[in-house]
Structure 1
């Protein structure tokens, strides 16, 4: 039996590679003869660095940069020397996981640290940079990142501004004379499944602002700031991306990248699937196993398990997904090719306990699943005889 294991990370519990290893260990306990192929996956958010480095034999590099509130933080990025490729996750330096709930501050939060990681990559000779846009704690339109790379923002009195969500409405002019010249010859690829525009009812502030700390009565303030920023950027660059698909990703970071880098946007899942030759590997499998921390309504919008199942269904290969929590109708999942969504929690426990013991729970769940499969095979044989 050939089993392809292609999970996402289980957020707050384990990486996609650890998840793949745990699933493999669990099924091997039942049948050591099973042939396993492991392909750790991600969708552009958490786990993107590790997934791409695993596929391309890259390394993880740590640097000290600024977190969203300008505090020092160690942030990692991926480096593939043979391709001069850097892989950066916005969440590593500018992400929600770096802040406690009570620290969320959309007025001050900035993507400056992500810009610092880009500079570190340039210093290493990067010729291509992949930027995953998931999980930011910011609504600064990418101004912090741009500032770290040499773009300067000024108010009406020509005072230099600290770029952040709260200063967008103060921007009266900008200067890119000191923009890092190396970026003009670097290929930028944005890994993101978000198609929201910068402004409007489906825009960066309205849809994503609340998760970054924007209160209901503050939405208009931040929307006005984003509109002001977009107007000045369009005047400065000659390009207007405020209603371009993906411009609203990561609190408007997509807009900043589009305006100054003109990157290629690609689905995070599709990018990693292509780099790992996922479809080819699925065609050779008898069974596909995937998984994620929580299976809910958002899983149908570019998340790993459903996208893996889509490919498996195309080639008539059954797909099963593990999940820490299940909050969606299984029947709907079947339409996308998921034959079974299998919970990893095996007894009542707190969320904290589930996250802490996630890797053990996943391995045990894998063992239970394959014991059931073996039983079903034997039972079928008995009934046919």
Structure 2
């Protein structure tokens, strides 16, 4: 019997783009069941791949090239996406991962990396006349509290001598004055931040404690980085009323806090992308749904792509003549850092390939193999 299969994975961070993941799994499935209706719906959660997901959902979208200062000051040739909303100035979609992301670094810079480039891209979108912004903030390289973003939009962060402080977390401790007078305002229809991180800015669940190690903040640096971030939070909070303890303030090394101080609102990244892609409509006719990400771990159940797709699929169910049939949902992950929950089938590429290194060195091969195996299984 012919099946409708929806392949809706996230990217495998730093290894394979969501589009590549979906197409490789789909090709593996078709190698066994060539007559099935296999639909690729690459997903994202506000990090890497968000621009591509929005671009696929909006055929009239335009890539707008922009050169920015990367997280280590090197030039980065990036782009933002212009969505031509009828009767408006359009929506600008800007991705932090492509402008100030960790994959842009040659080596980690725990105290020096910054978000200036992200702010420069947002400034370019505002200059182009967009009247709404969608800001995807996953994949940050820094823990600068979004200070670089604010300075790129005109804010002045000054030391006791009235001089601009250096970019990055290292400069936050030197701030004596926050001047937001020159800061560009929000566009008329506002800005929405795509993020599934609910951590506060500081404390044991804050940006430094939870996400600092992946950005290079190791033993001996935590106290310094946390103190600098807390100092910045106090000054910016006094100037704007932004709450460093609010859920999501710690997203993207504290960029979530700076964005809330600017006046932006927050939406669930994966859910917002799913809405843009019309994922629910695809799931409503699916017999099999395949999702995945590079590393399935404890955080995956907190609104990440696999758990969102699984839950939407279970809610949708596929209607077939004479019966209501539950959708079968499969997970394909590079590695399992936690036991998969709620999936009918789960495959780990590291296990298929005989190790993590083998899987990451040729991910598309093993994604194809995963698709082939799933097509051969009794899903």
- Is this a same-fold pair by TM over 0.5? yes
* Contact persistence 1:90–1:131 (CA under 8 A): yes
Partners of 1:177 and 1:207 lie apart in 2 by 33
* 1:134 positional shift: 1.2
Corresponding residue for 1:367?
A: 372
* Contact persistence 2:53–2:277 (CA under 8 A): no
1:90 is aligned to 2:90:
no
Q: 2:110 aligns with which of 106, 113, 123?
A: 106
3-state SS in 2 of match to 1:216: coil
Larger CA deviation: 139-148 vs 269-278: 269-278
* Contact persistence 1:12–1:355 (CA under 8 A): no
* Contact persistence 2:126–2:187 (CA under 8 A): no
Partners of 1:344 and 1:170 lie apart in 2 by 46
Corresponding residue for 1:306?
A: 307
3-state SS in 2 of match to 1:217: coil
CA RMSD, Structure 1 to Structure 2 (Å): 1.9
Corresponding residue for 1:274?
A: 275
Partners of 1:87 and 1:27 lie apart in 2 by 33
Partners of 1:224 and 1:12 lie apart in 2 by 30
Partners of 1:350 and 1:286 lie apart in 2 by 31
How has the CA–CA distance of structure 1 residues 105 and 14 changed in structure 2, closer, same or farther, with 3 Å as cutoff? closer
Counterparts of residues 1-385 of structure 1 (less than 5 Å)? 1-57=3-59, 58-82=61-85, 84-100=90-106, 103-181=107-185, 183-237=186-240, 239-260=241-262, 262-314=263-315, 315=317, 316-330=326-340, 333-334=341-342, 338-344=343-349, 346-348=352-354, 351=357, 353-373=358-378
Partners of 1:165 and 1:347 lie apart in 2 by 39
* 1:18 positional shift: 2.0
How has the CA–CA distance of structure 1 residues 45 and 218 changed in structure 2, closer, same or farther, with 3 Å as cutoff? same
Any idea what the Cα deviations from partners look like across 1:359-384, whole Å, max 9, x if unmatched?
A: 222123212321234xx8xxxxxxxx
TM-score (norm 2): 0.90
How has the CA–CA distance of structure 1 residues 322 and 82 changed in structure 2, closer, same or farther, with 3 Å as cutoff? same
Q: Structure 1 unaligned segments of length 5 or more: list them.
A: 377-385
Corresponding residue for 1:383?
A: none
Partners of 1:297 and 1:201 lie apart in 2 by 17
Partners of 2:221 and 2:28 lie apart in 1 by 49
* Contact persistence 1:126–1:186 (CA under 8 A): no
Partners of 1:184 and 1:53 lie apart in 2 by 21
* Contact persistence 1:75–1:92 (CA under 8 A): yes
* 1:43 positional shift: 1.1
* 1:184 positional shift: 4.5
TM-score (norm 1): 0.88
* Contact persistence 2:334–2:356 (CA under 8 A): no
* 1:281 positional shift: 2.1
Partners of 1:15 and 1:282 lie apart in 2 by 22
**Structure 1 or 2: larger helix share?**
1
3-state SS in 2 of match to 1:178: coil
How has the CA–CA distance of structure 1 residues 327 and 251 changed in structure 2, closer, same or farther, with 3 Å as cutoff? closer
Partners of 2:339 and 2:44 lie apart in 1 by 23
Any idea what the Cα deviations from partners look like across 1:168-200, whole Å, max 9, x if unmatched?
A: 11111122222224x342521111111111121
Q: Structure 2 unaligned segments of length 5 or more: list them.
A: 318-325
Partners of 1:365 and 1:59 lie apart in 2 by 34
* 1:349 positional shift: 5.4
